[in-house]
A = this chain, B = another copy of it.
Amino acid sequence: MVDEKIIHDPVHGSMRLSGLVLDLVDTPEVQRLRSIRQLGLANLVFPGANHTRFEHALGVSHLVERLGSELKLPKRELNMLLAAAVLHDIGHAPYSHTLEYLMTDYLKKDHMELTGDILRGKTSIHEKGELQKLGKLHVPSVVDVLAKYKISPNEVAQLLLGKHRKPYLGQIIHGEIDVDQLDYLLRDAHFTGVALGMVDADRLLRTLIVRGNRLAIASKGIEAVEGLLTARALMYTSVYYHHTVRIAELMLANAVEFAIKRGGGRINRDNFYLLTDSELLERLGEIRGYPHEIVTRLRYRQLFKTAYVEERRELSQAEKKRILKTYSGWSRVHELQNKIADKAGVPHGYVILDVPIVDILISEPRLEKVEVLVLVENKLVGLSELSPIASALKKRQAPRYQLRVVAAPKYVNKVKKVAEKILP
């Protein structure tokens, strides 16, 4: 009898795990994801949002299994995809995207590249001490399991980074319409209770096709894609870019940076991204002064308050350029927020500047080019030619505001005055 587990998932129902997937799920790298919340600190606004990257990894692999059977993929490709599905997030730092800026700054890589490195055995996502403990329990690692199933770690890494020679394999996991977002949109809707993100997964899985080595959609799936794209856009605005979530996450990121710079605690530039959510918070809380206070504020939801906000509006090309020049990069934003703090006579760290629009502007040129391909009368056509919604969504600015300055409550008034003067 095959070793098999049936797992109850609130999003996909009963899911059957066995063989490769089951073995991968048991590795420490994947088990670590149990302790990393999918939506960082969003649970401070959406109390149900305590779901983790672990469930998400299971969900994505479940969808790969369904899609693989629809597309009748060969066993070898299916296994590759299953591995990629289970492992695609193992390089995530605590609180998911919250510390991504710091990773780029300190590690010079994002969670995707880190995942690649872990797969190739170049680095580990566990501290040494942790590895020793694990050693005693003889738990196979991801590298062991891939070897057991004769799957090339390098190929999985390439697939995840979109460099596999068969483009559709990468696109199934990370493309314009992929199982990653299919799972996270359904899952985030289920756990936040935000009903904007309903997506006809059934139909999408049944209308995705492979043509000329690329993933595309049959024309009868167009509405399902339009639905998916809209759901994603609305979830960005309502959940992922919710200003209170951003404030909390920036408070945490600032405290981590402070701790790393000051040194002396149990957090440093070589380990902050390895920890789990609660380890990070615990270690940060041990450091007196600012980190300590921020942790208390996060634990008891005593967040900084808005001192100044610039609402979303249409931007000219010139304005976009100026914004990108002024605000792109963690260090530029930091300098500016410290400048405001200085002028307002407020200690550093108690004024935080949030410019979510920058993320959007950076990815805009890429988005302009990217296209869902639709099979119409046996030709592949870009979706935005067919759907005004799809092309409108490319122009839609997800965050409701361009720029926001927050501060500890007692400093709000002072900071407001300075911000109004200094900021454009």
Contacts and interface: CB of A to CB of B under 8 A. Distances in A.
A268 interface: no
A255 to B, nearest CB: 14
The 9 lowest CB-CB distance pairs between A and B, nearest first, are: A278-B278, A392-B392, A198-B198, A10-B193, A50-B50, A14-B202, A388-B392, A8-B193, A195-B200
A301 B139 CA distance: 10
A11 B206 contact: no
Interface in A41-60: 43, 46-48, 50-52, 54-55, 58
Interface string A359-382: 000000000000000001100000
A292 B10 contact: no
Nearest to A16: B206
Interface size range on A against B: 35 or more
A224 interface: yes
A47 B47 CA distance: 17
Interface in A9-33: 9-11, 13-14, 16, 26, 28, 31-32
A279 B300 CA distance: 15
A28 B191 CA distance: 24
Contact of A137 (B35, B297, B312): B297
B198 A11 contact: no
Nearest to A230: B230
Nearest to A297: B137
A234 B35 CA distance: 29
**Copies of this chain assembled into the complex:** 4
Contacts of A199: 195
A238 B107 CA distance: 45
A234 B223 contact: yes
Interface string A226-256: 1100110110011000000000000000000
A99 to B, nearest CB: 18
Interface string A130-154: 1001101101000000000000000
A58 B45 CA distance: 13
A46 B194 CA distance: 22
A263 B55 CA distance: 36
Contact of A296 (B43, B134, B387, B388): B134
A7 interface: yes
Nearest to A58: B47
A409 B92 CA distance: 31
A233 B226 CA distance: 10
Given A230-B226, A278-B281, A393-B389, A300 B139 contact: yes
Contacts of A55: 47-48
Given A192-B10, A193-B13, A199-B195, A31 B300 contact: yes
Contacts of A342: none
Contact of A200 (B190, B194, B278): B194
Contact of A133 (B11, B293, B311): B293
A321 interface: no
A93 B389 CA distance: 34
A366 B262 CA distance: 59
Contacts of A26: 301
A295 to B, nearest CB: 9
A6 interface: yes
A371 B127 CA distance: 55
A34 interface: yes
A310 interface: no
Nearest to A52: B50
A270 interface: no
Contacts of A11: 48, 193
Contacts of A296: 130, 133-134, 137
A299 interface: yes
B43 A47 contact: no
A60 to B, nearest CB: 13
